[in-house]
Copies of this chain bind each other. A is one copy, B any other.
């Protein structure tokens, strides 16, 4: 709306420039355009960033919006975890395309009260994960906002023809998942339970962020909360699958196995069956958490029976959990086989606008 436009003052916008300079400095300490990251030619500081691709490369691009109260809690979540979790969503999308990360962009809307220590800690988490995947922060936008929001853009490269799509699963193909399932959902449940027991100020209202003091999570909880607070994107596994052209269809588990498998089946025009006994359930998690829990950020992929899928890819276990069936109008899209018999598995993961 730019209210200042009609009522100009000569004070400039030092505060925004100071913040931008701080973010730029932190981003640049870790990256040098044209050296460490040959595909990023121009980062923060002009009207656009500039990327170069090698011949035969495609650019993969994804955006993910994180909103306070919806994707994270200012009360429960350490700012580092909020930064990490915002970024992992995009990195995981790149992994699911078989793309190598090139650059990240961050559009951040924050109330003034969060632009000091909170923002620094948010960037700690964001940049640590970006570093771990050699992904420079190359641009973005910054605005004052009564509600904290962070939209991240991830760009990556994948060789033409080697991209991992959702649409190539065929009847008879086998269904695999990396890592384990339910750990993030279990961690969230434990975090909620623990937070509910803590004395804390009355519930924050939307416009009161005067004293953002996230709870201090005790060290004993850290291991079991890690899959929720600091999930890892399966970049190396996606690159392996793309390089070997091993997968016929791939998706990352952001909304939950039941929901994301439904997406994959719909894109491929197939159905699927899952063997409940085969699921690599995170220790302590329930079958429901493994089936429907969101934010696992594991890769779910299919491969023809002839493909040689190893038990581990880049150090992470890979488990065969079912197979692809032909789609039939009179049959369920996803069947869950358990010791007690077969049942229909309906998408039960993350929902918006419901």
Is B55 within 8 A of A55, CB to CB?
yes
User: A100-126, CB under 8 A of B: which get 1 and which 0?
Assistant: 000101011100100100000000000
Known: A12-B259, A71-B143. A349 touches B65 (CB 8 A): no
Q: Which of A14-64 contact B (CB under 8 A)?
A: 14-16, 19, 41-42, 45-53, 55, 58-64
Residue of B nearest to A76 (CB): B1
User: Quick one: copies of this chain in the complex?
Assistant: 2
What are 14 A-B pairs at a CB distance below 8 A? A1-B71, A4-B351, A8-B348, A15-B351, A45-B267, A46-B166, A48-B60, A48-B96, A48-B97, A63-B139, A64-B107, A109-B149, A112-B353, A149-B149
**3 A-B pairs with the lowest CB-CB distances in the bound complex, closest first:** A8-B292, A13-B351, A151-B151
Residues of chain A at the chain B interface (Cβ within 8 Å): 1-6, 8-16, 19, 41-42, 45-53, 55, 58-65, 67, 69-73, 76-77, 93-94, 96-97, 99, 103, 105, 107-109, 112, 115, 138-147, 149, 151, 153-156, 158, 160, 163-167, 184-185, 188-189, 192, 206-207, 250-252, 255-256, 259, 262, 267, 288-289, 291-295, 346-354
